[in-house]
Amino acid sequence: MTDQRAFLAVDWGTTNRRVYRIVGGIVEQEERDDRGILAVGQGGFASEAAAIRARMDDLPMLCAGMVGSNRGWIEVPYVDCPADLASVAAGVAWVEPGRTAIVPGVARRGSDHSDVMRGEEVQLLGAVAARLVPENSLLCQPGTHCKWAMMAGGSIASFATAMTGELFALLQHHSLLAAQMNDTIAPNDDFRRGVRDSADGVLLTRLFGVRADFVTGRRGPTAAAYVSGLLIGTDVRAQVCDRAGEVFVLADTTLGGLYAAAIEGAGARAHLIDSHAAFVSGITSIWNTLS
């Protein structure tokens, strides 16, 4: 039933969407679909929200993710690093007061260049709130754009984004190596060799080497797992080397398993954390701050 703390939480990304009906911090209903912001399109968000309420319950709604970008429902300004639950909650924008709101993203404005996130901040802060990770720790969120966040005292102190997943997809679909990249990607020997070979830091040369090894008969025709290891290894080594001996990886088990293998391959320790539990914890914490 509709108690005062009940609300609908929407993790509304570019391609996918997850909706949760949360009552007293407990997920009572959950659905996942591909109605990301690109599928919804501008002008379509109000009717999407109405449809969610029709399916789930007529409750207040708190959204996070790319729904707050310039291609989303309304553009919500970024909150700056260091960002904690209080500053993120203070940046929440109401589409309709008391009824529908959107969580802001977080920006890091460094001396040399900026970085931004939208949606990941809920998981990061939620992971600490739920005591899934220490208050001071290095968190990794693999994906198209992999986030690496330094948490300090439970705040997002700093973060960096690597274009790892996108670059892999470009190579797999459009490059000279595409025809070689049809094998299953798993933390197997090929993957681990890629992680090892990433240690010399010459990614541009290693990528061409995949082709050269094939035409000289040094390797078979398959290279997707190896290239994945090269890219994830490069990503991991840039972030982990001198920063922390432990990394907490927020991901599903497939991608999380690859990152864990690469992190271990780079000499650090990896812990897999349930990213959905972290999201629910974070969005509930923000909601409780608001209401």
> Is 216 a binder of a second copy (CB under 8 A)?
yes
38 binds a second copy (CB under 8 A): no
**Going by DSSP bridges, is the β-strand pair 146-152/155-162 parallel, antiparallel, or unpaired?**
antiparallel
Rule CB under 8 A: is residue 171 a binding residue for a second copy? yes
Cβ contacts of residue 191 below 8 Å, gap of 6+? 185, 225, 226, 228, 229, 258, 261, 262
Q: Work out whether 284 is an interface residue with a second copy (CB under 8 A).
A: no
Applying CB under 8 A, which of residues 30, 57, 115, 246 lies at the interface with a second copy?
Answer: 115
From residue 226 to residue 245, the character string flagging contacts with a second copy as x (rule: CB under 8 A) and all else as - is -----x--xx--x-------
Can residue 51 be called a binding residue for a second copy (CB under 8 A)? no
- Nearer Cβ to a second copy (46/199): 199
Specify whether the CB–CB gap between 266 and 241 falls below 8 A. yes
Neighbours of 203 (CB within 10 A): 15
Cβ closest to a second copy, residue 102 vs residue 107: 107
163 binds a second copy (CB under 8 A): yes
In this structure, which amino acid lies at residue 197?
D
C-alpha distances out from residue 236 to 67, 82, 162, Å: 29, 23, 10
Choice from 70, 97, 131, 242 touching a second copy (CB under 8 A) = 70
C-beta of 154 vs 265, nearer to a second copy? 265
Residue nearer to a second copy on the CB measure, 21 or 118: 118
Looking at 13-154, which runs of residues are DSSP E strands? 17-23, 26-33, 61-64, 79-80, 93-96, 100-102, 106-109, 114-117, 137-141, 146-152
Single-letter residue type at 94: W
**Least distance between a second copy and beta carbon 42 (Å):** 17
Q: Residues 73, 78, 259, 279: which binds a second copy (CB under 8 A)?
A: 78
Instruction: Tell me the CB-side half-sphere exposure of residue 179, using CA atoms within 13 A.
Output: 6
Query: Cβ distance 139 to 148 under 8 Å?
Result: yes
Q: Is 192 in the site for a second copy (CB under 8 A)?
A: no
Q: 50 vs 179, which CB is nearer to a second copy? A: 179
Residue number, 20 or 168, with CB nearest to a second copy: 168
Residues 6+ apart with CB under 8 A from 29: 20, 21, 56
Among 5, 53, 145, 276, binds a second copy (CB under 8 A): 145
Calculate the alpha carbon distances from 159 to 64, 98, 167, 258 in Å. Answer: 18, 31, 19, 21
Binding residues vs a second copy (CB under 8 A):
69-70, 78, 107, 109, 112-116, 145-146, 160-164, 166-167, 170-171, 173-176, 197, 201-209, 211-213, 215-216, 218, 231, 234-235, 238
